[in-house]
Amino acid sequence: MRRDFSAGLRCDIFCNVIDNYGDIGVCWRLARQLANEHGLAVRLWVDDLASFARLCPEADVTQDSQHRRGVEVCAWHKQFPDVQPASIVIEAFACKLPESYIEAMAIQKHPPVWINLEYLSAEDWVEGCHGLPSPHPRLPLTKYFFFPGFTRKTGGLLLERDLLARRDAFQHDVAAQQEFWRGIGLETPSADTLKVSLFAYENAALPGLFDAWAQGEQALLCLVPEGRILPQLGLYFGVSAPQAGNEYARGNLRVRVLPFVAQEDYDWLLWACDVNFVRGEDSCVRAQWAGKPFIWQIYPQHDEVHWQKLQAFLALYNAPRLSAGEDPRAVLALQGVWREWNKEGEAGATWPAFVAALDELQPGARDWAGLLAKNNLALNLLDFCRKVGRMRAFKIEGQ
């Protein structure tokens, strides 16, 4: 047996990287939080260390086990080692745990609390499914579905303890902001420049949006982290292989390509910009914590089911504004640009109305972050595990 790395409550998180950075992004964030804020000994098993290393650049992809930011990060190979299961076992996004590990869980005196951490969705059915048990067909084990979400009856969202305080400190600190702009190699933009970050999948709406920005009345600085949108950016400006540090301009639009940074550092960009384009799951949540108006490019799924998810989120997100009796025009402007960006349509045509509504949208974006902050996923998850432990009439080790 491999020696366990720490006493106290232990947690194993299993992450199977499907594509992009969302799976590992969520797991890495949760792992750090459980380890650093709640004192758990966390092992993160990941089957693609190269993806992990994009979020944690000091990672060594050749190591089977390494300690990073308080977490033991382990390479998850097909041939799984003989290890002692932790007291909390989290399989992310229904990834399939190693058979030998499941068998080992079943023979523990106190079998672990086994959680399937699901994808984020704002749809109604999530509340009904959050926390449901799923008994193993053969072994004396029960897996529980844990759904992140936006309402009190869901598991909530990942939020570091001090995040909003750090955000506020940064947004009120001119010197810290200047430091940020210097750090990415730029002068602090003038007050009348609109600062937009653009993290996106390929999107046929990009040229139209760039045209609208180039022809707009206001100077616009667009910051693009390296990634899937770069070839299209290159096409637009007639250059091949744009890379970090490159800058392009047309009309009132200035575009700067940024390096893909460590996960913790991405927040600074979101806090520094006036509008953020985000994608997938984790960056979308981070944009909400930034408290700025944002545009979400949802991860496209088969049979167009992602449209339902998008509509469900928009309905929740806009509900506080509409029920407060605010002028619906700002909400419609936001919906317009979200719709066109996601259907890769006329995003450029919807942009002027959106920009005109920014002042109205800003306070709502901030209030929304405050509302969501009351429902913290890591705290909820630990409460849930304690409850399951109590139901089984044993104390979770270390509690």
Residues identified as active-site? 23, 281
CB of 78 vs ligand TRH, minimal distance in Å: 21
Q: Is 361 in the site for ligand TRH (CB under 6 A)?
A: no
CB of 205 vs ligand TRH, minimal distance in Å: 17
Site for ligand TRH in 184-213 (CB under 6 A): 199
269, 274, 278, 284: CA torsion to nearest 10: 90
- Which amino acid, one-letter code, is at 384? F
* Exposure b/e, 305-334, CB count within 10 A at least 16 = b: ebeebbebbbebbbeebeeeebeeebbebb
CB of 233 vs ligand TRH, minimal distance in Å: 14
In sequence order, the 6+-apart residues with CB closer than 8 A to the CB of 61 are 49, 50, 52, 53
CB of 54 vs ligand TRH, minimal distance in Å: 7
Site for ligand TRH in 34-63 (CB under 6 A): 55
Q: How many CB atoms lie within 10 A of CB 80?
A: 15
- Which amino acid, one-letter code, is at 394? F
Rounded Cα–Cα distance for residues 197 and 215 (Å): 18
Q: Which is nearer to ligand TRH, 5 or 125 (CB)?
A: 125
Rounded Cα–Cα distance for residues 373 and 369 (Å): 6
| Binding-site string for ligand TRH from residue 323 to residue 342, where x marks contact by CB under 6 A and - marks none | --------------------
Binder among 66, 121, 276, 283 for ligand TRH (CB under 6 A): 283
Residue count, binding to ligand TRH (CB under 6 A): 21
Q: Is 294 in the site for ligand TRH (CB under 6 A)?
A: no
Q: Which is nearer to ligand TRH, 56 or 89 (CB)?
A: 56
In 266-394, beta strands by DSSP E: 275-279, 294-297
Q: Which alpha helices (DSSP H) does 291-327 contain, by range? A: 306-323
Rounded Cα–Cα distance for residues 215 and 268 (Å): 28
Q: Determine the 3-state secondary structure of 122 from DSSP.
A: coil
Q: Determine the 3-state secondary structure of 399 from DSSP.
A: coil
Q: Is 148 in the site for ligand TRH (CB under 6 A)?
A: no
Q: Is 281 in the site for ligand TRH (CB under 6 A)?
A: yes
- Which amino acid, one-letter code, is at 71? V
Q: Which is nearer to ligand TRH, 48 or 72 (CB)?
A: 48
CB of 70 vs ligand TRH, minimal distance in Å: 17
Binder among 2, 8, 19, 63 for ligand TRH (CB under 6 A): 19
Q: Which is nearer to ligand TRH, 101 or 199 (CB)?
A: 199
Which two tokens mark 110?
């106190």
Q: Which is nearer to ligand TRH, 280 or 293 (CB)?
A: 280
Q: Running DSSP on this structure, what letter comes out for residue 218?
A: S
Q: Which is nearer to ligand TRH, 11 or 284 (CB)?
A: 284
Site for ligand TRH in 250-279 (CB under 6 A): 260-261, 263, 266, 279
Q: Is 149 in the site for ligand TRH (CB under 6 A)?
A: no
Rounded Cα–Cα distance for residues 238 and 257 (Å): 15
Phi/psi at 321 (5° precision): -65, -45
Interface positions with ligand TRH (CB under 6 A):
18-23, 25, 55, 119, 199, 225, 260-261, 263, 266, 279-283, 299
